[in-house]
Structure 1
């Protein structure tokens, strides 16, 4: 089974290939040179053989099944316009940005996930191990836990009985997490499935906008007109983000002004739509799009940081309230009993 290259690997191969082409090395020879010290020697050598046999670079990339459709399409456009080197350099920048953003998302979600797991462990230990000790103390005093404490004790005994099932579920979740992290195609399929239904709201929408802007900037830097760059970018996203791209393209085809179409479709904010239109009029549309992509990336990362910064104190507060509730439910009656005995 052929393996799709990761975003980081695509960025590396694209950058090195663009540098060799800039130095005047032929495409086939450049692929052979890259394959000499690469873990993908077999893949690159097979592509070099196709190119030497008369195939275009984009065709060799497609037949390898190791590159995304968007990357192959952009290289094909670069070959048609005589800007293959620029297309490969733009691909490298785009996938480097994707790697950086994906790493930022993973690191931002990891800490809250670890905190949540620790919180559940602490609460589980209190329910399963600590509350039965208090129940024994109450029994030695001739009484029983009542009210909230009795309900929590019942939950703790149920959890203790369900521990084998709990460990099995935990092992399954760990396995799923490992596969999600380690298997790129599986991760992208699951993310794509989620984005089609729920991935175009709040922070996810800002991140989608940033990725769209990066893709459009890459296409325009490779010599594509805005409309074609927009059409290619639609292939990178799912759900609402793709519908916004298609709506904007239809509005442009119907003769709407660029800024009005971008704003009405929700593809770009009003100020950035105006900036892109001015850049297009002044012949600097690709530079304007690159600035918009940077701004939207920073906005998406800031929104992600803000969301994470709200999650952490919320988890701490929730954990504190639950632990306090458990302890108070058993300590206050015990204090009354001890004071009555004293």
Structure 2
């Protein structure tokens, strides 16, 4: 028996959709006709899921809200099927509602929650599914949702701090770009007309400004086309494995922001791995899942190398040292954790350590970037002032000499 996803109209003309099991697509059509449903679309379930509503992802805020609600409902003793069905009707996210409706049907068909969630990899990550799987096997599903809620809350807070820290620099850079375009397209051409009437030799800053302005005025469509082509090419290259690895490596080497990104990713690694171990996931399997959750191709390779080392009999301390990812202080935490058997607690403590360092750096980020922005703006203003006022002074002196 195969499962098919259908869209159609019932006997009253109302739009309906859902899943149906049948031996073939023709048999599925016959079953729907027997239910007085006229199918307008019928596809295999896996293909339908990918094409219809899993093209979009659920936001972190929506996943956090779902996890909180599921923790409250499971802790209150509400059956999981009833809880999922209720959230499927009330969720504000159309994508999540569709996924929860499918979860409800899968649970009604006898599948476990983790198995049903695994059908939606773009909504429920492998890490999320694994924690739920362990919660089901241990009978502590409410604690699994609590752990996921705490994890997603920390992820949300970290992203919020990063966005707040880079908002001001990005705004200033955008303002500089807009000002450059306006000056080159509108302001400088007017001064160039005035200077051209006197046919005098212009100073170097003025010639630079006029040359740049002429280039903008005559070739701005080509510049826009080239920038668009470069952006599309860059985006497509980043979609390849080689491009993603290159950019993820370069992000960790960026001035000022590189170290912040690096420690943010390490905090995510430590917190994710600590959560997986607290949930009871074996260390090699946990490392495999966390490698995907980190979100950096270069770190993923190093974490997978750590997993291979541990499967070969090495300790977390030794493989962590060989990876070159961690500071000596964090390696000491690993050593103490392995000696005491509390490696999960040490990982959570390491995550907190990295997060505190990131908080401190983010708090001073604006103060570190401001001097650079001031120098850039000052250089632009100086060039503009020299380019415009130097020839005006020469013209004034020439005018006074003739008088």
Normalised-by-shorter TM-score class: 0.7 to 0.9
Tell whether the 8 Å contact from 1:248 to 1:267 is kept in structure 2 after alignment. Answer: no
- Which residue of the partner structure matches residue 134 of structure 1? 191
Tell whether the 8 Å contact from 2:103 to 2:116 is kept in structure 1 after alignment. Answer: yes
Higher strand share: 2
CA distance in 2, matches of 1:41, 1:340: 77
In the alignment, is residue 19 of structure 1 matched against residue 72 of structure 2?
yes
Alignment of 1:157-168 (within 5 A): 157-164=214-221
CA distance in 1, matches of 2:280, 2:153: 20
Query: Which residue among 201, 204, 209 is the counterpart of 1:152?
Result: 209
- The runs of 5 or more residues in structure 2 that have no matched partner are 1-51, 253-257
Tell whether the 8 Å contact from 2:53 to 2:98 is kept in structure 1 after alignment. Answer: no
In the alignment, is residue 341 of structure 1 matched against residue 399 of structure 2?
yes
Tell whether the 8 Å contact from 2:205 to 2:386 is kept in structure 1 after alignment. Answer: no
Query: Which residue among 248, 259, 275 is the counterpart of 1:199?
Result: 248
- Which residue of the partner structure matches residue 142 of structure 2? 85
- For residues 181-224 of structure 1, what are the alpha-carbon distances to aligned partners after superposition, in whole Å with 9 as ceiling and x for unaligned? xxxxx9xx869986522224123322221211121122122122
Query: Which residue among 44, 47, 50 is the counterpart of 2:103?
Result: 47
The structure with more radius of gyration: 2
Tell whether the 8 Å contact from 2:203 to 2:390 is kept in structure 1 after alignment. Answer: no
Larger relative CO (CA 8 A, sep 6+): 1 or 2? 1
- The runs of 5 or more residues in structure 1 that have no matched partner are 177-185
In the TM superposition, what is the alpha-carbon distance from 1:9 to its structure 2 partner?
1.7
Taking a change above 3 Å as real, the CA distance of residues 46 and 123 of structure 1, as seen in their structure-2 partners, is: closer
In the TM superposition, what is the alpha-carbon distance from 1:324 to its structure 2 partner?
0.8
In the TM superposition, what is the alpha-carbon distance from 1:61 to its structure 2 partner?
0.8
Taking a change above 3 Å as real, the CA distance of residues 126 and 137 of structure 1, as seen in their structure-2 partners, is: same
How many residues of Structure 1 are paired with residues of Structure 2 in the alignment? 329
CA distance in 1, matches of 2:298, 2:120: 31
Alignment of 1:48-63 (within 5 A): 48-63=104-119
In the TM superposition, what is the alpha-carbon distance from 1:328 to its structure 2 partner?
0.9
Tell whether the 8 Å contact from 2:176 to 2:377 is kept in structure 1 after alignment. Answer: yes
In the TM superposition, what is the alpha-carbon distance from 1:304 to its structure 2 partner?
4.7
- Which residue of the partner structure matches residue 337 of structure 2? 279
Higher deviation after alignment, 311-320 or 140-149 = 140-149
- For residues 139-167 of structure 1, what are the alpha-carbon distances to aligned partners after superposition, in whole Å with 9 as ceiling and x for unaligned? 44452434331232022122122345567
In the alignment, is residue 2 of structure 1 matched against residue 57 of structure 2?
no
Q: TM-score, normalized by length of structure 1? A: 0.83
Tell whether the 8 Å contact from 1:195 to 1:239 is kept in structure 2 after alignment. Answer: yes
In the TM superposition, what is the alpha-carbon distance from 1:329 to its structure 2 partner?
2.9
> CA RMSD of the aligned region, Å?
3.1
Tell whether the 8 Å contact from 2:113 to 2:132 is kept in structure 1 after alignment. Answer: yes
In the TM superposition, what is the alpha-carbon distance from 1:261 to its structure 2 partner?
2.4
CA distance in 1, matches of 2:157, 2:59: 13
Q: 3-state DSSP class of the match of 1:199? A: helix
